[in-house]
Structure 1
């Protein structure tokens, strides 16, 4: 028996097949091999075609099936993880009405900020735990205000993972966790926020059926099963945003446990048993995958838009023909501090932890006689690590003091320079695991299907591959303070 995990990322779609009893990954594939396009028809806009995600998934699964390492007919359950905060809109025939407005799109910031003030700061923080900011609800408000001909055709709104589930099964559903990440959920009333819906003038019929995260979200359509080589009895038993799902994949489920990722964006995600709200909405709080009204489990999320995409930009500019392994090796030849070079990586839309400011990316203190490609590559990874440190200090202001952070051996955490810079700058050890979002989604499917009796059983075989301890903390601290001065000059100039 096998479980299929799907991870709808910004750069690609990844699938993993996990054997149920051993909990071992049989294979993983992804598509496309290079970064998927992001369409930006205007400055600070970011869109993707949901049908591209569907095509990428089918091609990734075809590659996995072609390995011959398992019988696709023995897959019994599907779990889906997805890029958070996106907006997909479909009509009554389940046809996509426009490109998805994805997480790093900044067009709705002004609408969200206005709602924060007019609904009331205290109400928003107490009931939604966040400002409407740049989240899904505000993106929908932008469509309503600017594309009324499209808005009036909308039958249902969805997040990216809901769309893939719809394509598989024909069913459309959501969850409390998903609604909270769109800032549609009222935590005090434990229901869809009528205040926000009324403020924006949204009809509640736009919201799909609300189901638990771990539940049956539909059975695969017969025609789709035949096309994909799967059994027609396969069910979708789990859906979650990529960061709650990443935390699940690392068994970060209880208060005080913390996970981190550094893909296209970067995230530190800590679990709390409190309804935490940052007074400035620099970090955000959503319902975790195991949230219940009688057992609160929230995920306090620090998101940095400009992380892996900054590293990718550096590769395209300086070494597009080189592998990331080679890029990492080159960066390692530069000393700690990159010979004084400093990179601020915030060039991928408004940064929530900087109060939704568009600070932009920059390279500072360039010495044309000293600095080489390796120094720039290292400064990029150190600058990303310093951005994590800046955000972690905000989380500490909100009462989260991680003693250990868990991360998957993926993306930037595969770079020794980044790992050492991250733990040196934050002074927090990191446990690294050979798990990723698609594996976590597969195990989530096992939980939702009832194969695993509880969340603990699903992760009984999970063990860290290695641990990175902080070194050269004083040296990283000195460099961080210099980086922070540059950032604050940029912030104050806006």
Structure 2
């Protein structure tokens, strides 16, 4: 048996899988996000441990014998979080999360240093880890002075699980400290932020062994000795392992809290000016590119709260057939945007509202706005040398066939819907746990699921969608001139 632990923004998922990759069951522990100021987003690392304990306790209650047979554990987690611990492994402050934009000025300063783009292959985004540490240095110097280790969120869980300070390449590539081509920490970039390599965790590949489960926890959960913990992956790379998106030309679109258009690459293809992320993949000697938008299902959930209707009811109200754009446009920049704008200050908008703009019209605009934001990422990937012929849909938003039809039509390529099953980050993490524990071939293990259905672009609406997309594109500079 193999266990995948996925630390998400809203909870920890623990998934149990057997040696044939059949999912046995899963447990869950909920998490909340603290937003003490505008643009801030934090979590207490101790809450991750509590949620992990809750998730595993749920598994143990249902599947005690199967849990006892676990030989390998894989880890996945939300990226970029700054988890700061002192010399006694005590947490110094709440973790600053991936969607926190307080360090936008620090990010701009680092990005102006040409070494960062040259070595990391990426813009220094405000959500990345390095500018957060500069913000702490500038605003909380007493905390900065006590930092013994900087850990990414899932690697704080690893410390609790194993006692080891280790991270994998895919997650570390999102810090702005990794030489992404060489897959090694850059002492120059660390020095530029007032840090040194001794404050970083050691680096491993996602498929490698990265510690063993502490005896205390193994006993508590009823596991045996020498349970291997894999290097694991950042959440998107872990999802790619779960989806089998590991070979060049394979891609997925993820409709989660954020939205991701992810393409696996056989070589390192950085183009920072496109705002495409070029990161190490979880498998050795592979890389990936992705466009990231900050509000995908988050945008629909925001509108759900405003309208007093559940997200499911809102999308059901649109029916099953994709509708032509109405002229109402939604910009989903609720907490800024990454690809392609790298703009932490921009905020969202509805444009074109009229007396006839019903709730359903606004729902349609929200879904289209996210679809057009993903189209922006597709255009950015094209400019970075990656062309896609189809994508596979994952994430909670992918349950809406209407939304998938909107995305297919906006992108102009088919969207594959995988057969029933959970192939997300927890499943990918469990696969990495299997590989680390058994030495199995990573590409063979990380196969793609069967396709249940294909959502094709609606050809009759493509001209209307193209016109609506061009209108969407024109609105960003217009509202930027007002908001900045």
Question: How far off is 1:71 after superposition?
Answer: 2.4
Moved more, 392-401 or 475-484: 475-484
Q: Distance in 2 between matches of 1:45 and 1:349?
A: 12
Match of 1:19 in 2: 18
Are 2:232 and 1:239 equivalent residues in the alignment?
Answer: yes
Q: Distance in 1 between matches of 2:350 and 2:344?
A: 18
Match of 1:491 in 2: 480
Structure-2 change in CA distance of 1:422 and 1:69 (3 Å): farther
CA contact (8 A) 1:106 1:350 kept: no
2:92 pairs with 80, 97, 100, which one?
A: 97
Structure-2 change in CA distance of 1:334 and 1:273 (3 Å): closer
Match of 2:435 in 1: 447
Match of 2:188 in 1: 195
Are 2:136 and 1:136 equivalent residues in the alignment?
Answer: no
Structure-2 change in CA distance of 1:57 and 1:190 (3 Å): closer
Are 2:397 and 1:412 equivalent residues in the alignment?
Answer: yes
Q: Tell me the secondary structure at the aligned position of residue 230 of structure 2.
A: strand
Are 2:295 and 1:310 equivalent residues in the alignment?
Answer: no
Structure-2 change in CA distance of 1:84 and 1:233 (3 Å): same
Question: How far off is 1:223 after superposition?
Answer: 2.0
Match of 1:42 in 2: 37
Q: Distance in 2 between matches of 1:331 and 1:487?
A: 26
1:342 pairs with 329, 336, 340, which one?
A: 329
Give the TM-score, by structure 2 length: 0.93
Q: Tell me the secondary structure at the aligned position of residue 374 of structure 2.
A: helix
- After TM superposition, the structure 1 = structure 2 runs for residues 243-254 of structure 1, keeping only pairs within 5 Å, are 243-254=236-247
Are 2:343 and 1:356 equivalent residues in the alignment?
Answer: yes
Q: Tell me the secondary structure at the aligned position of residue 451 of structure 2.
A: coil
Question: How far off is 1:225 after superposition?
Answer: 2.3
**Please, what is the CA RMSD of the aligned residues?**
2.1
Question: How far off is 1:363 after superposition?
Answer: 1.5
Question: How far off is 1:239 after superposition?
Answer: 1.4
2:110 pairs with 104, 107, 115, which one?
A: 115
Q: Distance in 2 between matches of 1:371 and 1:337?
A: 14
Q: Tell me the secondary structure at the aligned position of residue 171 of structure 1.
A: coil
Match of 2:417 in 1: 432
CA contact (8 A) 1:27 1:69 kept: no
Structure-2 change in CA distance of 1:42 and 1:237 (3 Å): same
Q: Distance in 1 between matches of 2:387 and 2:205?
A: 30
CA contact (8 A) 1:143 1:150 kept: yes
Question: How far off is 1:263 after superposition?
Answer: 0.5
Q: Distance in 2 between matches of 1:425 and 1:65?
A: 44
CA contact (8 A) 1:328 1:416 kept: no
CA contact (8 A) 2:27 2:59 kept: yes
Q: Tell me the secondary structure at the aligned position of residue 165 of structure 1.
A: helix
CA contact (8 A) 1:280 1:355 kept: no
Q: Tell me the secondary structure at the aligned position of residue 348 of structure 1.
A: coil
Question: How far off is 1:337 after superposition?
Answer: 4.0
Q: Distance in 2 between matches of 1:188 and 1:377?
A: 42
CA contact (8 A) 1:337 1:379 kept: no
Q: Tell me the secondary structure at the aligned position of residue 457 of structure 1.
A: helix
Match of 1:473 in 2: 462
Are 2:174 and 1:186 equivalent residues in the alignment?
Answer: no
Q: Distance in 1 between matches of 2:411 and 2:368?
A: 12
Tell me the alpha carbon deviations over residues 324-345 of structure 1, each in whole angstroms, 9 at most, x when there is no partner: 4333212337962453322111
CA contact (8 A) 1:351 1:358 kept: no
Q: Distance in 2 between matches of 1:199 and 1:281?
A: 24
Match of 1:457 in 2: 444
Q: Distance in 1 between matches of 2:411 and 2:181?
A: 34
Give the TM-score, by structure 1 length: 0.91
Match of 1:208 in 2: 201
Q: Tell me the secondary structure at the aligned position of residue 133 of structure 1.
A: coil
Are 2:316 and 1:329 equivalent residues in the alignment?
Answer: yes
Instruction: Report the number of matched residues.
Output: 477
Match of 1:391 in 2: 377
CA contact (8 A) 1:378 1:417 kept: no
- After TM superposition, the structure 1 = structure 2 runs for residues 156-171 of structure 1, keeping only pairs within 5 Å, are 156-171=149-164
Are 2:39 and 1:51 equivalent residues in the alignment?
Answer: no
